[in-house]
Chain A
Amino acid sequence: MTAPLLSLQKAVVQRGQKEVLKGLSLDLYAGELIGLLGPNGSGKTTAARCLLGLVPLTSGSALIGGDPVASLSATTRARRVAYLPQSRPVAWPIAVHEAIALGRFAYGGQTGRLSALDQAAVNEAVEACNLEDLLDRDITTLSGGEAARVHVARALAAKAPALIADEPTAALDPLHQWTIMQVLARQAASGSGILTVVHDVTLAVQFCTRVVVIKDGQCLASGPPAEVLTPDLLAKAYGIDARWTCDADGSALVVHGPAAQGT
């Protein structure tokens, strides 16, 4: 088997008195779309940020392409893994095409200085996210769904083998959630490795090739979504009483309420 694109090994993160990650291990391979699931505060974002060198590990290791994150220069890291953070504040009203062009930063590219290779990567990302009509718009005037697509395109433009997307579908309507997940799934199908933090379990089942469920900084389960996300596991992870309803078109999760005590 080829080496993982990203790897967390027995990662421990101590923040004050609290252990946020308690020996979490996680590998991302090319072609995978991993959904990182778990309740709020379970350590999903911390795990993602460890892999980017944004959170130092207390012990264990975070590897990108086999090398410890801390040993890589910012440019080398960015060429190996693109990042779409959870909060995406835009400070100045730049044009959409400028924001996407910034995705080429690690290659020295940005608006006004895009090589042919940079431009090709930008065009591909624009097409993947269906942004042709918005290129000259001021990014601060976009709707939430449009802005989310721009940020995804910016991350794709880097053409890094791996992508970490922290809640790319947060605060989006169902169509935009679906659109974003569809873009990520296509990207993975074409050979990228994508690790995405998600809260929508139904979306994870529909699009992810694998899910990793974490709680209290530990891995509860990992595997194909349909096998892993049983009502029992959901009760354990989220404390909910939830059932799958299935019909010919697929399955959806229906939450009935908090799980009964003792589960």
Chain B
Amino acid sequence: MSAGPTDHSRRLIPALAVASLLAVILACSLGETPMALTKVLATLFGGGDATSQTILWSIRLPRALAAWIVGASLGLSGGAMQGLLRNPLAEPGVLGVSVTASLGAVIAIYYGFSAGFAPALQIGAVVGALLATALIAFAAQRVRDMVGLILIGVGLSSLAGALLSLLMNLAPNPFTLNDMVSWLMGSVANRSLSDIALSGPIIAAGALVLLMTRRGLSALTLGEEAAHGLGLDLTRTRVLVAVGCGLATGGSVALAGAIGFVGIVTPHLVRPLVGSDPGRALVPSALAGGVLLVLADVGARLVPSDNELKLGVVAALVGAPMFLWIAARRSAQGKAQ
């Protein structure tokens, strides 16, 4: 039996992997001092002069890699969350992990930890993400259905959001408030390879956990009862997706702040290309998310502006119209996609 006319997954993954590589190289080449592609490649492989070494290894490559990692983790988490909840509107932050991670970072800013010790900001976000993940994983074992889990996630989101607003409200001075707002807008500017080394393993662990759920997400297409009948352990799947999304999303918030729309839009872009199967959509969704965010960051850098354009803002400006386009196409076709 054929895999169906709409299934391009075998070619899609290599194509998106190549696109990821090209996007990162492009991001290394473009900037205030454009660098020829040949020079980028030469510098990457140990050649090039000292200036281009510095530009590439300390500035552009970490930034591009951070954008790719964050985009990939959001694309993957969004795909998994939509598959688990069987809902095209689900996004990685739906269970409250993103806001709680943001709260952790804002606490680090509020109490001035990050002023003396820069990684404190990222560590605060990681701690917030891990706490939220533990709570959601605990809840996932006890709830009767997914609605119960979503309600707990919404509750956690609201609480963390309220505390975040409280800290902004009570910010000791305008500079602190500015730091908070600026961080919350989401950016990968000035990230170093050591920043990536801090969040990267957490994101990678989350990604591995999510990849274990692929088959279960496919089975959930037919509904929770049928999936149970097929032999899927629903509780285990819920916990794995909660933990995986928590780690991957939380880690990405720690690395770049809150970046919206990549997580919700990317799965929709790739799902039609893999026969709509949410399990098979996971890896392409991750790769496409990475490409999208690297390109969005190139856009953020190249658009001339007085203030630095934040990646979170650009991602939302690109993502929201895409989302509308998907919604329009979906209602035109009159089917669930």
- Expressed in whole angstroms, the Cα–Cα distance for A85 and B229 within the complex equals 8
> A105, B215: Cβ atoms under 8 Å?
yes
**CA of A205 to CA of B89, assembled, Å:** 46
Interface size for B (C-beta < 8 A) is: 35
Interface contact B4-A98, CB-CB below 8 Å: yes
Between B220, B232, B271, B276, the greatest number of chain A beta carbons within 10 A of the residue's beta carbon is seen for: B276
Contact yes or no, B226 A83, CB < 8 A: yes
Residue B32 lies at the interface, judged by CB distance under 8 Å to chain A: no
Find chain B residues with CB under 8 A from A53 CB: 228
- Residues of A with C-beta under 8 A to B279: 110
* Complex contacts, B229 vs chain A, CB 8 Å: 52, 78, 81-85, 155, 164
For B226, the closest partner residue in chain A by CB is A85
- What is the bound-complex CA distance between A234 and B245, given in angstroms? 53
Q: Which residue of B lies closest to A113 (CB)?
A: B215
Within 220-262 of A, Cβ neighbours of B (below 8 Å) are at none
Please pick, from A84, A105, A112, A136, the residue contacting B5 in the complex, using a CB distance under 8 A. Answer: A136
Taken residue by residue from 92 to 114, chain A's Cβ proximity to chain B (1 for < 8 Å, 0 otherwise) reads as 11110111011101100011101
- Tell me if A135 is interfacial: C-beta within 8 Å of chain B: yes
Asked whether any CB of chain B lies closer than 8 Å to the CB of A141, the reply is yes
Q: Is the CB of A75 within 8 A of B276?
A: no
Q: In the complex where A89-B223, A91-B223 touch, is A119 in contact with B1 (Cβ < 8 A)?
A: yes
- Tell me the dominant secondary structure on chain B's binding face: loop
**Residues in A whose Cβ lies below 8 Å from that of B197:** none
Query: Are the CB atoms of A54 and B2 closer together than 8 Å?
Result: no
Closest Cβ of chain A: how far from B1's Cβ, in Å?
A: 5
A247 to B86, CA, bound (A): 50
Contact of A90 among B1, B87, B222, B230 (CB under 8 A): B222
Residue of A77, A111, A136 with highest tally of chain B CB at under 10 A: A111
Q: Are A85 and B336 in contact (CB under 8 A)?
A: no
The answer for the CA separation of A119 and B230 in the assembled complex, in Å, is 16
A88 within 8 A of B: yes
> Given A90-B223, A94-B275, A97-B1, do A140 and B336 touch, yes or no (CB 8 Å)?
yes
CB distance from B74 to the nearest CB of A (A): 20
Give the bracket for the number of chain A residues in contact with chain B: 35 or more
Number of A-B contacts (CB under 8 A): 122
- The chain A residue sitting closest to B272, CB to CB, is A93
Q: Are A99 and B337 closer than 8 Å at their CB atoms?
A: no
With A98-B275, A105-B215 as known contacts, state yes or no: A92 contacts B221, CB within 8 Å.
Answer: yes
CB closest residue in chain A, given B4:
A95
Cα–Cα, bound, A79→B335 (Å)? 33
The reply on B231 being an interface residue by CB < 8 A is yes
B278 within 8 Å of A by Cβ? yes
In the complex, are the beta carbons of A112 and B280 less than 8 A apart?
Answer: yes
Cβ of B225 within 8 Å of any chain A Cβ, yes or no, is yes
- Quote the shortest CB–CB distance from A262 to chain B (angstroms): 40
Residues of A close to B87: CB separation below 8 A: 91
Over the window 216-248 of chain B, the binary record of Cβ atoms lying under 8 Å from chain A Cβ atoms (1 yes, 0 no) is 001111110110111111000000000000000
Q: Do residues A105 and B231 form an inter-chain contact, with CB atoms below 8 A? A: yes
CB neighbours of B335 from chain A (8 A): 93, 138, 140-141
Q: Which 3 A-B pairs have the closest CB atoms?
A: A83-B229, A78-B231, A106-B231
Q: List 19 A-B contacts (CB under 8 A).
A: A77-B231, A78-B229, A79-B231, A81-B229, A83-B225, A83-B230, A92-B277, A92-B336, A93-B276, A94-B276, A105-B232, A110-B219, A110-B279, A111-B277, A112-B280, A123-B1, A136-B4, A154-B222, A154-B226
- Where the two chains meet, the residues of B that have a C-beta atom closer than 8 Å to any C-beta of A are 1-7, 9, 86-87, 215, 218-223, 225-226, 228-233, 271, 275-280, 335-337
* Residues of A participating in the B interface, judged by any CB pair closer than 8 Å: 52-54, 73-75, 77-79, 81-85, 87-95, 97-99, 101-103, 105-106, 110-112, 114, 119, 122-123, 135-136, 138, 140-141, 151, 154-155, 158, 164
* Contacts A88-B226, A151-B226 supplied; 16 other A-B pairs, CB < 8 Å: A81-B229, A87-B223, A91-B86, A93-B337, A94-B221, A94-B276, A98-B277, A102-B221, A105-B232, A106-B231, A111-B7, A112-B7, A135-B1, A151-B222, A154-B222, A158-B230
